[in-house]
């Protein structure tokens, strides 16, 4: 008996029963804690073979310095901009659904600042759409971050 060739394993069935739904399920700029599991549940879809999620959490360092906490401030247009970003990514990708939220206000180390979830028929579509969504949010959302250091000093990041 011959083992299946590696070439047979690289062929993927990309056929779908229906086109991608491209739904935007949830978009929110909020001061409340974020739950990536909630967004994963919102994007679940019978046509989706993949759900990819992302949680951007506050880390304890930046640029070689310890960070004790951060605070995000948002422009009044932030919710509308986040809605535009989500709609744009849904339109440009083969997602079945996506959801995204960004936190504002004070956050402690370990808390989620940005969460996103994407469902798609196949993992490569879901990973690509999730990466694009996070990158677009980071590039376009008008939020500014203030980092606080152990000595009590602070620094604004990504602030015009």
Torsion (CA) 70, 126, 25, 90 in degrees, nearest 10: 100
CA pair distance 42, 37, nearest whole angstrom: 9
Instruction: Walk me through the domains of the chain, giving residue ranges and CATH numbers.
Output: 20-155 (3.90.1170.40)
pLDDT tens sequence across 56-73: 999 999 999 999 999 999
Are the C-beta atoms of 143 and 78 separated by less than 8 Å? yes
- How much is the average pLDDT of 141-145? 96
pTM: 0.89
């Amino acid at each position: 008996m011959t083992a299946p060739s590696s070439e047979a394993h690289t062929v993927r069935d990309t056929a779908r029963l229906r086109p991608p739904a491209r739904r935007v399920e949830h978009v929110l700029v909020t001061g409340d804690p974020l739950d990536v599991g909630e967004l994963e549940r919102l994007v679940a879809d019978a046509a989706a073979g993949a759900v990819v999620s992302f949680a951007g959490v506050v880390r304890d360092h930046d640029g070689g310095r310890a960070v004790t906490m951060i605070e995000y401030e948002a422009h009044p247009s932030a919710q509308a901009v986040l809605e535009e970003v989500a709609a744009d990514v849904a339109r440009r990708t083969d997602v079945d659904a996506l959801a995204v939220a960004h936190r504002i206000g004070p956050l402690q180390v370990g808390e989620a600042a940005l969460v996103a979830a994407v469902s798609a028929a196949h993992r490569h579509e879901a990973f690509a759409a999730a990466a694009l969504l996070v990158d677009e949010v980071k590039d376009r959302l008008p939020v500014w971050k203030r980092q606080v250091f152990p000595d009590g000093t602070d620094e604004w990041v990504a602030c015009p």
